[in-house]
């Protein structure tokens, strides 16, 4: 897990890059999602491999976006999504290999979007732009 970067209030007003936390239990996939977000102009401020670590990071770092794998365990991802969307202003994008029927609970918990793996760059760019009101780089 990376060392998280704290927010600097003076820099916050000048920044134009969405800040993100990536939550994925498979390390290789986590690195791939991190690289994808960075290529789209996001600043990945932290990564986590489980829901509990993610909650702590999101609560302290207050990112704009959380890109989270549903495969952490459906109940963990649902509970984490609910806590994040209730306690912070972060928008949660859930990524999954599961079918539509299995994603309903996370949508009800407040996920802004659910994307199917493998995540397509163009699709993620559009979602980031929509959720942050900033154009994503491609």
* Run means of pLDDT, 10 residues per run, the chain, 138 residues: 56 71 96 97 96 95 96 81 96 88 86 93 95 75
pLDDT of residue 6: 61
pLDDT of residue 10: 46
Distances in whole angstroms, Cα of residue 33 to Cα of each of 9, 11, 82, 127: 27, 25, 22, 14
Other Cβ atoms less than 10 A from the Cβ of 59: the count is 13
List all residues 6 or more positions away from 138 whose beta carbon is below 8 Å from its beta carbon: 40, 121, 122, 125
pLDDT of residue 71: 84
Inside any domain, residue 48: yes
pLDDT of residue 14: 40
Inside any domain, residue 105: yes
Q: CATH number, domain at 52?
A: 3.40.50.2300
How many structural domains compose the chain? 1
**Segment holding 68, helix H or strand E:** strand 65-69
Which two three-digit tokens encode residue 14? 């000048």
Which two three-digit tokens encode residue 88? 């912070």
Inside any domain, residue 10: no
Q: Which residues of 48-57 are buried (b: 16+ CB within 10 A; e: fewer)?
A: bbebebbbeb
Inside any domain, residue 79: yes
Inside any domain, residue 68: yes
Inside any domain, residue 85: yes
Inside any domain, residue 8: no
Inside any domain, residue 22: yes
Domain hosting residue 117, numbered range: 16-132
């Amino acid at each position: 897990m990376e060392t998280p970067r704290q927010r600097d209030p003076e820099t916050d007003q000048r920044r134009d890059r969405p800040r993100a936390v990536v939550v994925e239990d498979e390390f290789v996939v986590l690195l791939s999602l991190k690289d994808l977000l960075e290529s789209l102009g996001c600043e990945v401020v932290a990564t986590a491999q489980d829901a509990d670590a993610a909650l702590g990071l999101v609560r302290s770092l207050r990112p704009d976006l959380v890109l989270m794998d549903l495969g952490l365990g459906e109940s963990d991802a649902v509970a984490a999504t609910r806590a994040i969307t209730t306690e912070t202003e972060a928008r949660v994008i859930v990524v999954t290999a599961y079918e539509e029927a299995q994603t309903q609970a996370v949508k009800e918990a407040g996920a802004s979007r659910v994307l199917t793996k493998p995540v397509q760059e163009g699709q993620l760019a559009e979602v980031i732009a929509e959720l942050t009101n900033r154009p994503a780089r491609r």
